[in-house]
Chains A and B, each alone.
Chain A
Amino acid sequence: MIEQYSWGRIRASKPDHVDFPSCGYSFKQRELPYLANGNLRSYGDEAYNDNGVILNTLCLDHFIHFDRANGVLELESGVLLEQVLNLIVPCGWFLPVTPGTKYITVGGAIANDVHGKNHHKVGSFGCFVESFTILRSDGVIYECSRESNSHYFYATIGGMGLTGIILRVKLNLLAINNHAIVTKAYKFKNLEHYMELNAELEGQSTYTVAWIDCLASGRSLGRGIYYTGEHAGYLEKLPPITSNKRSFPFTPAKSLINGLTLKAFNTLYYHRPLTKLSQIVHYDPFFYPLDKLLNWNRIYGSKGFYQYQCVISGANQAEVMREILTRISKSNNGSFLAVLKTFGSIASGGLMSFPRSGIALALDFANKGRITADLFRELDNIVLAAGGAIYAAKDAMQSKEVFEAGYPRLNEFIKYVDPLFSSNLWRRLYGN
């Protein structure tokens, strides 16, 4: 029996079997549900397909063409962002949008329309996808772009792997001078201060993101550290490439993150002295600080963890976020990994894209069974009332009601879901 674990490790998925498709793949078993998945970095049940067929894309790992002069890369969908960066950075190009890990596939980046620290300036990953091909269960390979088969194009961007297997992708890249990032850190005392700081800095910074202390309360509610970053100009001396990775070696029975360790850690981290000057760092620690510790998800113990990621739009976004943070702070749960990011208004057009203008919060929670479920339900209610949305790549618990409210183009999307494709998430939120 095959067992697969998504990043949250809440429970294993047991697909009927796993295939490694290529362009000539034929959907022989018409009675089983199919789902494409990649490197299993989504947190919840999005990449799970119990008793179905998993089409794993990790063997679709070939580059097809790299136009070094114009920064256009054609590749198969199972190539990891890490491999893309290894190829393009030495040639003076970068991913125009990158999430917080480079261990995801290009196909996964499209299927979740991932966003990065520069969302407020350039939009999400889908904005830079020129075209791709998908193989659907009717056996036809569709060339999709904004011009041709555009309905499949927009359904597949953010489409959670439900519209067919993405085979090949054509990406537009970003020109850079070198691998260095100029970064600066600012402390903010609370959520209001964050709003002020963000308003001041987001116009002038390409990359912005904030860490918040999710346990702080009262006047310090939402305190944290705000980071900005820019691709460096010409430098005489480049920051060194550090490639030594460590792996978290085992899964402890209990989560190592609990109220006590978290309080201590957050307080120390918040109060650490920050330099007033900008620092020049390699892109790796700036974009992918967590990738340095492989298998860091094991730190939450054998019961696994959830991530809660929501986005709140509208005029009263700060108030709603305050309510959410108050609720989390009261619960005394949460984790060190808490991220606040203000999105911009540029959209990829993906029917089911998560990023939209507003503030997004992402926060890990060790799995405490009922306690976590109850907390999430409360948070969901706040999100629902505020017209916000939950990110499918992280989700394992939201209700159908919250999902429908968060994705107003759901009915349009459903038309393009492949009739043979489904996932645990899809069955949970939409039925069979």
Chain B
Amino acid sequence: MLIRYLVLIYGGAYMGINMQNVIVFGSNSTIAKSVINKLALENCNFYFFAREKKQLELQINDLKVKYPSINVSAEVYDALVDGGKILEDKIGQAFEHLGRVDLVFIAHGNLPHQVTCEDSWQDASAALRVNGLSVIEICHNVARRLKSQRNGTIAVISSVAGERGRQSNYIYGTAKGMINVYLQGLRNALYQHNVHVLTIMPGFVDTKMTIEFKKGLLWAKPEKVANDIIKAINARKNVIYTPWFWRLIMKIIKLIPENKFKKMKL
């Protein structure tokens, strides 16, 4: 009986925050797909942004097959090129279409090749744009609108790579670090407007982006990460590490003195 009661309370809290209208950037990413599938169970209305039109159409169709009553719209968005007025209009359209927006989930990105980025500034700058600046530009546009709504959540997938630069992926790390600082500020600024900002720090996740890595104990499945994300959104957490042990790992990594750290092969 007690357990049943607890389940009811927990279930209530879980369903408590109403995520009716959701905008997703990078809806075709593995983690986003997993999150969308879980949100769809609660009959959300979606507005997707992703790069490939064909994939977007497939994704929408797939959701409609699985959840016939669901409401999904979409627009093509390329983080590398879409900015300025174009992006502003696209976001404006999404808000107009959905009316009130409860959640903006930003999940797009790629894993640039560090060595290529060191050889070519064009590649490095593209990586910074796709993984960093584009996210900030979206937040910039969205924040204004959520502020006037006086309600809503912005959830952004960052990475533990943004917490300390290391030789094997510091361009990617820089982009993510930039997001982390920006989101700290944004969280602070939007608090008084009842808009919530969640920074998501996944560790190693087994997705198509990381196919080239040998998987070990530290690797997590996207479903597990998606579960953590949904829980964190509902609990209005500020920064989550997923899986949880990355908080510990990063604490230790950040404690290593720079003089030692610079000599390490990480």
Complex alpha-carbon distance, A87 and B67, angstroms: 9
Measured between alpha carbons, how far is A22 from B66 in the docked complex, in Å? 21
A20 proximity list for chain B (CB < 8 A): 208
Please name all residues of chain B whose beta carbon is closer than 8 Å to the beta carbon of A22 when the two chains form the complex: 54-55
Whether B54 lies near A62 (C-beta < 8 A) is: no
How near does chain A come to B115, taking the closest CB pair, in angstroms?
Answer: 15
Q: Which residues of A contact B66 (CB under 8 A)?
A: 63, 87
| CB closest residue in chain B, given A63 | B65
- B62 partner residues in chain A, CB cutoff 8 A: 61-64
Nearest CB of chain A from residue B40's CB, rounded to whole Å = 12
For residue B28, which residue of chain A has the nearest CB?
A59
**Cross-chain contact B55 with A18 (CB below 8 angstroms):** no
Residue of B nearest to A68 (CB): B68
Asked whether B258 is an interface residue with its Cβ less than 8 Å from the other chain, the reply is no
Q: Is the pair B55, A64 in contact by a Cβ cutoff of 8 Å?
A: no
- Among B144-196, those with CB < 8 Å from A are none
Chain B CB within 8 A of A273 CB = no
Q: Is the CB of B54 within 8 A of A24?
A: yes
Asked if A401 lies at the interface with its beta carbon under 8 angstroms from chain B, I say no
Evaluate contact between A66 and B65: CB separation under 8 angstroms: yes
Q: Does A2 contact B (CB under 8 A)?
A: yes
Of the residues A62, A66, A87, contact of B58 by C-beta under 8 Å: A62
Cα–Cα distance between A61 and B65 once the two chains are bound (Å) = 13
Within the complex, what minimum Cβ distance (angstroms) separates A115 from chain B?
Answer: 27
Contact B54 A2 (CB under 8 A): no
Chain A, Cβ-Cβ closest to B214: A3
Chain B nearest Cβ from A105, distance in angstroms: 15
A149 to chain B, nearest CB (A): 23
Residues of A within 8 Å of B211, CB to CB, are 2, 18, 56
Nearest-neighbour CB distance to chain A for B38, whole angstroms, equals 12
Q: Which residues of chain B come closer than 8 Å to A24, judged between CB atoms?
A: 54
Interface size on A, residues (CB 8 A): 21
The answer, yes or no, to whether A186 is at the interface (CB within 8 Å) is no
Check if B212 sits within 8 Å of A64, measured CB to CB: no
- Could you say which interface size class chain B belongs to? 10 to 19
Q: Which residues of B contact A265 (CB under 8 A)?
A: none
Tell whether B59 is near chain A: CB-to-CB under 8 Å: yes
Q: Are B61 and A62 touching (Cβ within 8 A)?
A: yes
Give per-residue flags for A20-33: 1 if the beta carbon is below 8 A from chain B beta carbons, else 0.
10111000000000
A22 to chain B, nearest CB (A): 7
Q: How far is the CB of B54 from chain A (nearest CB, A)?
A: 7
Q: How far is the CA of A63 from the CA of B54 in the complex (A)?
A: 14
Complex formed: what's the CA distance from A62 to B52 in Å? 15
Cβ-based interface call for B217 (8 A): yes
Cα–Cα distance between A249 and B218 once the two chains are bound (Å): 11
Taking a contact as CB atoms closer than 8 A, the residue among B61, B212, B217 that contacts A2 in the complex is B212
Contact A59 B208 (CB under 8 A): yes
Q: Does A250 contact B (CB under 8 A)?
A: yes
Chain A positions within 8 Å of B58 at CB level: 62, 76
Flag if B54 contacts A65 (CB, 8 Å). no
List, in ascending order, chain A residues with CB within 8 A of B212's CB.
1-2, 18
For chain B, residues 205 to 223, give those with C-beta under 8 angstroms from any C-beta of chain A.
208, 211-212, 214, 217
Known: A20-B208, A22-B55, A24-B54. A64 touches B61 (CB 8 A): yes
CA A62 to CA B63, docked complex, whole Å: 8
Minimum CB–CB distance for B28 against chain A, Å: 9
A98 to B62, CA, bound (A): 23
CB distance from A148 to the nearest CB of B (A): 24
Hey, which chain A residues are within 8 Å of B61, CB to CB? 62-64
Choose among B55, B59, B65, B208 the residue that contacts A65 (Cβ–Cβ < 8 A).
B65
Query: Across the interface, do B65 and A64 meet the contact criterion of CB distance under 8 Å?
Result: yes
Q: Nearest chain B CB to A107's CB is how many angstroms away?
A: 16
Chain B residues near A1: list those with CB within 8 A. Answer: 212
Closest residue of chain A to B212 (Cβ to Cβ) is A2
Chain A's nearest CB lies how many Å from the CB of B157? 18
Contacts of A59 in B (CB 8 A): 208
Residue of A nearest to B217 (CB): A250
Name the B residues within 8 Å of A250 (CB-CB).
Answer: 217
Complex interface: chain A residues within 8 A of B65 (CB): 63-66, 87
Minimum Cβ distance to chain A for residue B37 (Å): 9
- Which residues of B are found within 8 Å of A56, using beta-carbon distances? 208, 211
Measured between C-beta atoms, what is the minimum distance from A250 to chain B in Å? 7
A395–B62 CA distance with the chains assembled, in angstroms:
35
Most A-side CB within 10 Å, residue of B58, B59, B217: B58
The 7 closest A-B pairs by CB, nearest first: A62-B62, A63-B65, A62-B58, A63-B62, A66-B65, A18-B211, A2-B212
Task: List residues of chain B with CB under 8 Å of any chain A CB.
Answer: 54-55, 58-59, 61-62, 65-66, 208, 211-212, 214, 217
Subset of 9 A-B contacts with CB under 8 Å = A18-B211, A18-B212, A22-B55, A24-B54, A56-B208, A58-B208, A63-B62, A63-B65, A249-B217
Inter-chain pairs besides A59-B208, A62-B59, A62-B62, 19 sampled, C-beta below 8 Å? A1-B212, A2-B212, A3-B214, A18-B211, A18-B212, A20-B208, A22-B54, A24-B54, A56-B211, A58-B208, A62-B61, A63-B62, A63-B65, A63-B66, A65-B65, A76-B58, A87-B65, A87-B66, A250-B217
